[in-house]
Amino acid sequence: MGPGNNTIISEFLLLGFSEEPALQPLIFGLFLSMYLVTVLGNLLIILAVSSDSHLHTPMYFFLSNLSLVDICFTSTTIPKMLWNIQTQSRVITYAGCITQLYFFLLFAGLDDFLLAVMAYDRYVAICHPLHYMVIMNSRLCGLLVLMSWITSALNSLLQSLIVLSLSFCMDLEIPHYFCELKEVVQLACSDTFLNTMVMYFVGVLLAGGPLAGIIYSYSKIVSSIRAISSAQGKYKAFSTCASHLSVVSLFYVTILGVYFSSAAAHNSQLGAAASVLYTVVTPMLNPFIYSLRNKDIKRALKRFFGMAGTKGTIISGQKCS
């Protein structure tokens, strides 16, 4: 790729959150803790769903996929940031930046699509309970997840290929802790009109579409719940989608908050700090939201650890004998 000065761009600099050396250990410890909690919490959800046959239902199938995506989502950005802090380096290679950008868009899109799929699942469960297992059969569930992967992969591939066509000058500092699409495009010396148009068009289409589906699903759910005569029935119906509604609210409120705050402040580093809410905090909180109010998940985890403890006792007993 030839930029304006006919040199080959080999690396970018990720400026991160702060240049203060005294703050680096604090930032490292904070993000390492959040990353470990995110990975451990989502792994526990996957283990609970996979180990308990009672949780082999569409809702928990989608939940385990969401947990897997959340692990990959945070793993796309946080390990590189921690490595840079540990090595006191801000460098990310050009190939590494494009790769990170691709996978970030991939898993961010998957998060968006899976939340919409889960909203549809709750809509069918509450509005058409008698036909739930017929409609949400294993074939449809697999197809919905597959289509989410394909659509998100095509979007991230398109965005990455357009970035590859850009030429960059000598100002290669990205005021972020990862290769965020908008920040990378702004560094280009060549015309970015196509990138900007594709970025906003695809953003509105692929983010607005799932959000519209979620709003429609919950409007129907609210109408169905209001039609239930007993208060106990209303509570039971609402409790089946309360966790998902909490995750959806957290995901979209943080993204909209980041977008509007960065647009109003015109401060890239403020935007980088705010983006932590949806790139790190939301994936970290999802397992807690789904497990704290979910008796099925708690029961599955207790059974899983109980079985693991029993197997460990048996093996140690055999070794002693």
pLDDT digits (tens, 9 = 90+) for 29-81: 999 999 999 999 999 999 989 988 888 999 999 999 999 999 999 999 999 99
* 42 compared with 176, residue with greater pLDDT: 42
Instruction: Please measure the distance between the N-terminal and C-terminal CA atoms of the chain and give it in whole angstroms.
Output: 67
Per-residue model confidence (pLDDT) at position 310: 58
- Determine contact, residues 23/103, Cβ cutoff 8 Å: no
Condensed to tens digits (0 to 9), the pLDDT of residues 111-135 reads 999 999 999 999 999 999 899 999 9
Quote the percentage of the chain above a pLDDT of 70.
88
Nearest Cα to Cα of residue 278 among 157, 109, 163, 151: 109
Strand order in the sheet with 11-14: 91-93, 11-14, 173-174
Answer whether residue 169 shows pLDDT above 90.
Answer: no
Answer whether residue 147 shows pLDDT above 90.
Answer: yes
- Determine contact, residues 110/148, Cβ cutoff 8 Å: yes
Per-residue model confidence (pLDDT) at position 178: 92
Per-residue model confidence (pLDDT) at position 119: 93
Per-residue model confidence (pLDDT) at position 295: 77
Answer whether residue 11 shows pLDDT above 50.
Answer: yes
User: Domain residue spans in the chain?
Assistant: 11-303
Highest mean pLDDT among 56-60, 170-174, 308-312: 56-60
Per-residue model confidence (pLDDT) at position 140: 96
Cα dihedral 142→145→148→154 (10° resolution): -70
In the structure, what pLDDT confidence band is assigned to residue 16 with cuts at 50, 70 and 90?
Answer: confident
Between the alpha carbon of residue 133 and those of residues 146, 205, 217, the distances in Å are 19, 30, 18
* Domain 11-303 of CATH type 3.40.50.720: no
Answer whether residue 244 shows pLDDT above 90.
Answer: no
Per-residue model confidence (pLDDT) at position 65: 96
Per-residue model confidence (pLDDT) at position 22: 83
Contacts by 183-186 with C-beta closer than 8 Å and gap 24+?
A: 183/268, 184/12, 184/97, 184/101
Q: What is the mean pLDDT of residues 237-242?
A: 80
Per-residue model confidence (pLDDT) at position 215: 93
| Average of per-residue pLDDT values in the chain | 85
In the structure, what pLDDT confidence band is assigned to residue 261 with cuts at 50, 70 and 90?
Answer: low
Per-residue model confidence (pLDDT) at position 266: 54
Quote the percentage of the chain above a pLDDT of 90.
45
DSSP code per residue over 138-185: HHHHHHHHHHHHHHHHHHHHHHHHHHHT--B-S--EESSSS--HHHHH
Condensed to tens digits (0 to 9), the pLDDT of residues 180-233 reads 888 898 888 888 888 888 888 888 888 889 999 999 999 999 998 888 888 887
Label the pairing between strands 91-93 and 173-174. Answer: unpaired
